[in-house]
């Protein structure tokens, strides 16, 4: 009998990458593989509770901690997660430090070679390591496959239409991305910088990887797009998500919200007091930080919409500001806003973090105002919550089109600015009129809202079927593991013969 496979996971050090990466690692360990997650001290503390829980179940999953090279790039000690990066200069230093992780990862892998590397696409340097060790490298890029196809199609279209790759006003009129299974209309064009960076990283991955794992399910991206990707890359692709839902289905005996609900009982109690589908959840992920004028527009829109809400705020901080937090709120909230929201039990404002899965899965939550980060999208789909889409940076505008144009389980707010990174300052403010209009369109009922809600429920049902015992995501995970086992046995046989 062949020994258990040994797989190393290397996530990029940001929440939107680490959360699904850890979930995938746990799924592999639950199938009997010996799994090691390689990360840094601060991020180890973020992951270790989940890992210890799985160890208690007898799963072989470990964290190998390596030093984050802060000193080499001039970063303060302790900044080891992109969540703590707030400006472009620090972002450049962070990416440089992430590249230097190779100096520790490579010797560790050479001393303790695995059977497979699951690498973040931001680490193209794992490709030559895998080649030298003679093992497969599987890529995870935290995007949906639809976004990957959009990036590829836009690149091809730009090569045939040079005017698309010039600097331009991104707020210009809509245009159609062609060459895909269906024409997709973008309201604004992607910035040249982000297009170039993503295209180069993906091109490197396509040339130096065994295949791609996706935090989604077949029915979400669609068979046409899966076939399109395989045709243009000749690579294997495995949809084994939504990772959080697959994991929950793998361990049904435990309530995965228990710890969170104990820590945030007041949120659960507040939601319990609300009617079915009456609350709007407003969150833009861990990296998007709005400045005061934009926060003020959101506050005014939510109040005038007449609907209850939970709002997670990431504010662009003002350094060395002598005001305390209470006075600071005067800069981005209408006068008396918090008092009115409390008096009528209309809204909760949470600073920086919220138990998102708990909120999305509560029956009172009827809509999600979101930046379209992929982890947030998969959690909303798993809960059957329709979305009001407000993309901000990187691939989020592509995700929006999958939500609104391809499947129809969301409505667009009307964002007009596509940023290259979360550290880029936003030049435009989305008006309270646009925000309120999107909230009312979804939450006030009517034919359009009913259609969107039905689509969200339909996609939730498909997601849940995908993670069932014989669902598409479970079959894909089985196929991937069997593929890796066969590759490892063939490699062992080849070594034995030589």
Whether residue 360 contacts residue 281, with contact meaning beta carbons closer than 8 Å, is answered with yes
Confidence at residue 135, expressed as pLDDT on a 0 to 100 scale: 95
Annotated catalytic residues are 17, 120
Confidence at residue 251, expressed as pLDDT on a 0 to 100 scale: 67
451-474 average pLDDT score: 96
Q: Which tops the pLDDT comparison, 162 or 203?
A: 203
User: β-strands 184-186, 175-177: how paired?
Assistant: antiparallel
- Report the alpha-carbon distance of residue 70 to residue 274 in Å, rounded: 47
- Report the alpha-carbon distance of residue 242 to residue 472 in Å, rounded: 11
Confidence at residue 2, expressed as pLDDT on a 0 to 100 scale: 67
- Measured in Å, how far apart are the chain's first and last C-alpha atoms? 21
Contacts of 136 (CB under 8 A, 6+ apart): 116, 117, 130, 210, 211, 484, 487
Range of weakest confidence among 36-45, 254-263, 368-377, 467-476: 254-263
Whether residue 132 contacts residue 107, with contact meaning beta carbons closer than 8 Å, is answered with no
Confidence at residue 398, expressed as pLDDT on a 0 to 100 scale: 95
Given a cut of 70, whether residue 154 has pLDDT beyond it is yes
Q: Which of 45-49, 67-71, 246-250 has the highest mean pLDDT?
A: 67-71
Confidence at residue 320, expressed as pLDDT on a 0 to 100 scale: 46
Q: In terms of Cα–Cα distance, which of 126, 131, 124, 149 is closest to 201?
A: 124
Region 6-250+469-497: CATH code? 3.40.50.2000
Confidence at residue 257, expressed as pLDDT on a 0 to 100 scale: 46
Confidence at residue 287, expressed as pLDDT on a 0 to 100 scale: 85
Helix (H, G, I), strand (E, B) or coil at 172: coil
Confidence at residue 189, expressed as pLDDT on a 0 to 100 scale: 85
Q: What is the pLDDT of residues 220-244, one digit of tens each?
A: 999 999 999 999 888 899 999 999 9
Given a cut of 80, whether residue 256 has pLDDT beyond it is no
Given a cut of 60, whether residue 423 has pLDDT beyond it is yes
Whether residue 259 contacts residue 277, with contact meaning beta carbons closer than 8 Å, is answered with no
Given a cut of 70, whether residue 69 has pLDDT beyond it is yes
State the number of CA atoms in the 13 A half-sphere of 482 facing the CB: 7
Confidence at residue 258, expressed as pLDDT on a 0 to 100 scale: 46
400-427 average pLDDT score: 91
- Report the alpha-carbon distance of residue 143 to residue 199 in Å, rounded: 13
Angle (nearest 5°) at CA 121 between 387 and 63: 95
458-467 average pLDDT score: 97
Given a cut of 70, whether residue 428 has pLDDT beyond it is yes
Confidence at residue 3, expressed as pLDDT on a 0 to 100 scale: 83
Place of tokens 């999600």: 368
Q: Provide the pLDDT confidence category of residue 421 given band limits of 50, 70 and 90.
A: confident
In the chain, which residues fall in CATH 3.40.50.2000? 6-250+469-497, 264-463
Helix locations, 234-363, DSSP H = 243-250, 258-263, 265-272, 292-305, 325-328, 337-343, 356-360
Percent of the chain with pLDDT over 70: 90
Helix (H, G, I), strand (E, B) or coil at 392: coil
- What does pLDDT average to over the chain? 89
Confidence at residue 289, expressed as pLDDT on a 0 to 100 scale: 85
404-415 average pLDDT score: 96
Given a cut of 70, whether residue 336 has pLDDT beyond it is yes
Write out the two tokens for 9: 């996971």
Place of tokens 């839902």: 245
Percent of the chain with pLDDT over 90: 68
Confidence at residue 234, expressed as pLDDT on a 0 to 100 scale: 87
Q: What is the pLDDT of residues 74-115, one digit of tens each?
A: 999 989 999 888 888 999 999 999 999 999 999 999 999 999
Given a cut of 90, whether residue 164 has pLDDT beyond it is no
Confidence at residue 346, expressed as pLDDT on a 0 to 100 scale: 94
Confidence at residue 321, expressed as pLDDT on a 0 to 100 scale: 52
Superfamily of chain region 264-463: Glycogen Phosphorylase B; (3.40.50.2000)
Record the pTM.
Answer: 0.91
- Report the alpha-carbon distance of residue 225 to residue 153 in Å, rounded: 11
Helix (H, G, I), strand (E, B) or coil at 451: helix
Q: What is the pLDDT of residues 309-332, one digit of tens each?
A: 999 998 766 544 545 555 567 789
């Amino acid at each position: 009998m062949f020994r258990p496979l040994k797989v190393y996971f290397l996530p990029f050090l940001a929440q939107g990458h680490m959360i699904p990466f850890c979930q995938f690692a746990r799924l592999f360990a639950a199938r009997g593989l010996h799994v090691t997650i390689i990360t840094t001290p601060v991020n180890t503390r973020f992951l270790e509770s989940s890992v210890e829980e799985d160890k208690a179940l007898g799963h072989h999953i470990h964290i190998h901690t390596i030093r984050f090279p802060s000193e080499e790039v001039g970063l303060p000690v302790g900044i080891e997660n992109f969540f703590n990066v707030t400006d472009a200069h620090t972002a450049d230093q962070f990416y440089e430090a992430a590249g230097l992780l190779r100096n520790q990862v490579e010797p560790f892998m050479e001393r303790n070679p695995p059977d497979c590397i699951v690498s973040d696409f931001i680490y193209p340097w794992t490709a030559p390591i895998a080649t030298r060790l003679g093992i497969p490298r599987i890529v995870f890029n935290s995007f949906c496959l639809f976004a990957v196809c959009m990036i590829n199609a836009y690149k091809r279209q730009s090569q045939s239409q040079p005017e698309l790759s010039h600097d331009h006003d991104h707020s210009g009129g809509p245009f159609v991305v062609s060459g895909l299974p269906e024409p997709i209309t973008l309201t604004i064009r992607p910035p040249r910088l982000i297009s170039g960076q993503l295209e180069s990283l993906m091109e490197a991955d396509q040339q130096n990887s065994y295949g791609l794992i996706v935090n989604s399910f077949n029915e979400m991206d669609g068979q046409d797009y899966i076939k399109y990707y395989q045709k243009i890359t000749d690579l294997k692709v495995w949809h084994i998500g939504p990772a959080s839902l697959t994991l929950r289905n793998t361990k049904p005996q435990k309530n995965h919200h228990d710890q969170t609900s104990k820590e945030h009982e007041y949120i659960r109690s507040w939601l319990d007091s609300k009617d079915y589908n009456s609350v709007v959840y407003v969150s833009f992920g861990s990296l998007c930080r709005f400045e005061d004028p934009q926060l003020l527009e959101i506050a005014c829109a939510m109040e005038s919409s007449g609907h209850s809400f939970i709002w997670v705020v990431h504010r662009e901080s003002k350094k060395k500001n002598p005001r305390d937090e209470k006075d600071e709120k005067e800069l981005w909230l209408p006068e008396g806003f918090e008092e009115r929201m409390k008096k009528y039990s209309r809204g909760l404002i949470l600073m920086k973090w919220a138990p998102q899965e708990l909120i999305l899965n509560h029956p009172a939550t009827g809509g999600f105002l979101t930046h379209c980060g992929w982890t947030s999208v998969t959690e909303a789909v798993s809960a059957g919550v329709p979305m009001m889409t407000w993309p901000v940076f990187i691939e989020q505008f592509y995700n929006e089109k999958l939500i609104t144009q391809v499947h129809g389980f969301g409505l667009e707010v009307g964002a007009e600015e596509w940023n290259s990174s979360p550290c880029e300052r936003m030049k435009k403010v989305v008006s309270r009129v646009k925000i309120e209009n999107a909230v009312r369109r979804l939450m006030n009922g009517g034919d359009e809202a009913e259609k969107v809600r039905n689509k969200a429920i339909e996609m939730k049902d498909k997601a849940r079927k995908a993670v069932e015992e014989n669902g598409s995501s479970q079959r894909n995970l089985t196929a991937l593991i069997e593929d890796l086992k066969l590759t490892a046995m063939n490699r062992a046989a080849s070594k034995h013969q030589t």
